[in-house]
Amino acid sequence: MSVPSLNLSSPVRLKLALTALVCACLTACGGGGGGSESKIASPQLAASEAEVSVDAQGVVLASSTLSTTRTYLNNITTTTANAGEVMDDFNAYTALDGALVPKWQFSLGPEFTGAIGTMAMSSTLENRHADVVADFGCSTLEVIAAPKWNCGRYVSGTRNFSVPFAVTAPDSTRVLMRVRQTQPLLGTGMRLRDTSGQTLQYSFASQTIESVQGDGWAQVSVPVRAPASYWGGVNNGVLQGGVSGVSLTVGQQALVGPRGTVQFDDVRLVRSNTVEVGLTGQEAVLSKGVVARTTDRMATGASFYRISDASMKLASEAGFNVIRFDLFWDMVQSGGRFDFSIYETALTRLAKYGMKALFILDYGHPDFGGGAPVTEANRAAYIEFARQATRFAMGRNVVAFEVWNEPDNAVFWRDGDPKTYAALLGPTVAAIKAIDPNRKVLNGGPSWINLPYVLELARTGQLANVDGFAIHPYRTGAPETFAGDLTALRYVLKSQGVNAPVWSTEWGYSSGGLNAATFGDGHDIRARTWQARMVLRTMLTQISMNLPMMMTFELLDRGNDPANPEYNYGMLTPSLTPKPAYVAAKQLQTMTGSKDYRGVVTGLPARVHGLKWEGDGKVVYAVWLDSNQISAQVSVPATAQVIAWDGSLPTTAAGSSNTRQLTLTHDMGPVYIAF
């Protein structure tokens, strides 16, 4: 199943969806994308030219002792089905660390001058690899908005093969590699040249939930059949004959920082789209920062008007213990008088089911401009509202305040201006803390991963006293890509001295607005099933990142129009009928709610993910694929239970040595394996 096409007609999401698309294009395109043969990294670039450019800019690479003994310390799965044919593992070269990589030609991206970098040998205790150093900020020492042209767009290393690697079935061929990034604002990609002279270009995420929780090395799988662009040769986007050359690219994205390094290792061609996975119940996990339970962390959103006994009971039964909803300014203040009694009723209802509120202090008030409070007088009025809300919340079941909602979006804040929002945020946080120093206060979460906005907001200094940085990491594709976005977000915040933990306070997938030919409308079971799998993967991804708040947006659909995406984010219909997404959330609670989360499973093939829980004398795994380009043959003991995301029992077959085999596909969604 391909990633569905989304209807982004909603003004709430369109602006930032386009921003995300531009950023993705910068990553994918590098310097190419046109129809010219010059779009591939030039193999004629002399090594001395690249070296002189680097020397003139003072690039210094650290050197370490060469290790002649190679041991995989990151548990790469090396079965025949998973290993493939080595294109280059960088272990055969005798060049010293810091020397240019033999057989590879390095390019600074001749179409866009100004990049600085090199490709050199490097070693760790376990093996050797190639380090690509890149600088797209003209030697900046800070995080800045990407210069348009004058600091380059991409660099690349290219190796040509005198004997091409034969490819007879492009649809089932992949390139595997290990990648580690030391500077998360860099984009990564690959180009293949086939025997017709065609260049096929790919982008890929080089940070995964495993690499973020582990030692930084990511296992990357790039399907040959899905290039982002192509040119030259037969010019049809289908790899012809074989691979005669490979380029590893590092590119500019929406923000750039100080020069960074991307390390590449074990580049392999695999002529199979099936991987093998064996689980015994004893698998090692990455346990860094693991939070065992989801108490006060598992959140969903609900309209204030839909908080009923029935809806809260359903939310609680699905494992949600925090409800995020608006504390509307204009509903609690009339003239100079504040009255929070209707919110007292809501909090009492939540408490009945052991739940807490995350209040969004929003929006405008008709007595004070009616919109975003950007004048001094209107800001003062809003700050008084925040003070009164703080007094009301003291001693009650309120976990945190968010100061406004999505202020980067012009729908909610005039012009999406970070400076005028910061002028409200800082004094509001201070006013709240003056009354209740223990009250957790967050910024209003930006929508999508809007790093340029985050940078400008952080530069104001008004994030200094927030207890967490809220983000709304919407995306149209795989939830697991949040791992890399989270790393980049933390990097940008830290560059400005902001060390607050990241809270995910709004994130979901709508069953509306998908490709009608594939999914029907927002009420079609196909669309709702797709939504369920994406929502569950969102929940699992957030758990894997050990976030202090994990939001699934939202509890109920906002309307009955199947064509409106904004009306179809819910896990329940407006009449409280469970959609498949609710079934998925409740099944997660059934399988793991009484158990302790242990961490991310190590040693799984690229694009396969697993989380582990233990408790009640049992071990439970959630296992899933993030790509429809592969399938997995999962082997488990015959005594293990295999349960689908919706509680059904998937088909398994008898295997050897008292095992059972499950053929796991992307479209099956996560499955649970219990021992």
Residues 298 and 321: beta-carbon distance below 8 Å: yes
H helical segments located in 77-178: 80-83
CATH number at residue 633: 2.60.40
Model confidence at 26, in pLDDT bands (50, 70, 90)?
Answer: very low
Query: Which of the pair, 125 or 554, is modelled with greater confidence?
Result: 554
Q: Residue 84: its pLDDT value, please?
A: 83
b (16+ CB within 10 A) / e for 422-436: bbbbbbbbebbeeeb
Looking at the domain assignment, is residue 464 inside a domain?
no
| Cα R_g (the chain), whole angstroms | 26
**pLDDT band at 49; cut points 50, 70, 90:** very low
Distance between CA 668 and CA 200 in Å, rounded? 30
Residue 77 has pLDDT above 80, yes or no: no
Q: With 60 as the cut, is the pLDDT of residue 41 above it?
A: no
Residue 94: inside a domain: yes
pLDDT number for residue 82: 53
- Domain end among 274, 303, 337: 274
Which residue segment(s) compose the domain that 608 sits in?
Answer: 599-674
> Could you tell me the two tokens for 521?
């409308």
Contact 129, 73 (CB under 8 A): no
Q: How many domains does the chain have?
A: 2
Q: Mean pLDDT over all residues of the chain?
A: 88
Q: What pTM does this model have?
A: 0.88
pLDDT of residue 126: 75
Strand, coil or helix: what is 324?
Answer: strand
pLDDT for 208-245, tens place per residue? Answer: 999 999 999 999 999 999 999 999 999 999 999 999 99
Out of 241, 274, 307, pick the residue that ends a domain: 274
Q: Which residue has the tokens 């009250």?
A: 439
Q: Is residue 133 part of a domain?
A: yes
pLDDT at 36 over 50: no
Contacts with 484 (C-beta within 8 Å, 6 or more apart), sequence order = 184, 205, 206, 207, 208, 212
Tell me the backbone φ, ψ of residue 526, rounded to 5 degrees.
-65, -45
Distance, CA of 241 to CA of 375 (rounded, Å) = 66
On whether residue 183 sits in a domain, the answer given is: yes
Instruction: Read off the CATH number of the domain in which 185 is found.
Output: 2.60.120.260
The one-letter amino acid code at 428 reads T
DSSP label at residue 370: S
Distance, CA of 604 to CA of 602 (rounded, Å): 6
The answer to whether residue 648 is domain-embedded is yes
Please state which of the ranges 16-20, 56-60, 146-150 shows the lowest mean pLDDT.
56-60
The span from the CA of 32 to the CA of 507, in Å, is: 33
Q: Are 490 and 537 in contact (CB under 8 A)?
A: no
Give the pLDDT confidence of 416-441 residue by residue, as tens digits. 999 999 999 999 999 999 999 999 99
Answer with the residue of higher pLDDT: 177 or 26.
177
- The domain boundary residue, chosen from 274, 293, 328: 274
Mean per-residue pLDDT, 517-524:
98
Q: Is residue 476 part of a domain?
A: no
Kindly indicate the confidence band of residue 42, based on its pLDDT and cuts at 50, 70 and 90: very low
Does residue 146 surpass a pLDDT of 60?
yes
- Residue 113 domain flag: yes
